[in-house]
């Protein structure tokens, strides 16, 4: 079943049961935030919620691990925002 998610203002079709990281990667994004100190790109690294490389903001809640969060219809995802809050 397809659902609609907004990522950085762009509406994307997602599949029910897909993670935010899966949606971002399927839309061609390999990184979606940068490190605070050096500005190095970060995206999916461990894929199991241990590291903090895939953080995003979902529906206004920051520091969400994209590899762990399943998308829901109507979700609003902001990339890079978790980095700015630190």
Instruction: Examine the pLDDT at 83 and tell me if it is beyond 50.
Output: no
From CA 22, how far away is CA 2, in angstroms rounded?
14
Structure confidence by residue, pLDDT tens digits, 25-58: 999 999 999 988 899 999 999 999 999 999 999 9
* Sheet strands (E) in 1-86: 2-7, 10-15, 33-34, 41-42, 55-58, 61-65, 76-79
Structure confidence by residue, pLDDT tens digits, 52-68: 999 999 999 999 999 99
């Amino acid at each position: 079943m397809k659902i609609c998610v907004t990522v950085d203002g762009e509406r994307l079709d997602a599949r029910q049961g897909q993670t935010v990281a899966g949606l971002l990667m399927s839309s061609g994004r390999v990184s979606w935030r940068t490190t605070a100190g050096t500005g190095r790109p970060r995206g999916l690294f461990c894929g199991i919620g241990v590291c903090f490389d895939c953080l995003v903001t979902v529906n206004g809640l920051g520091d969400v691990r994209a590899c762990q969060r399943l998308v829901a219809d109507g979700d609003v995802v902001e990339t890079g925002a978790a980095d700015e809050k630190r």
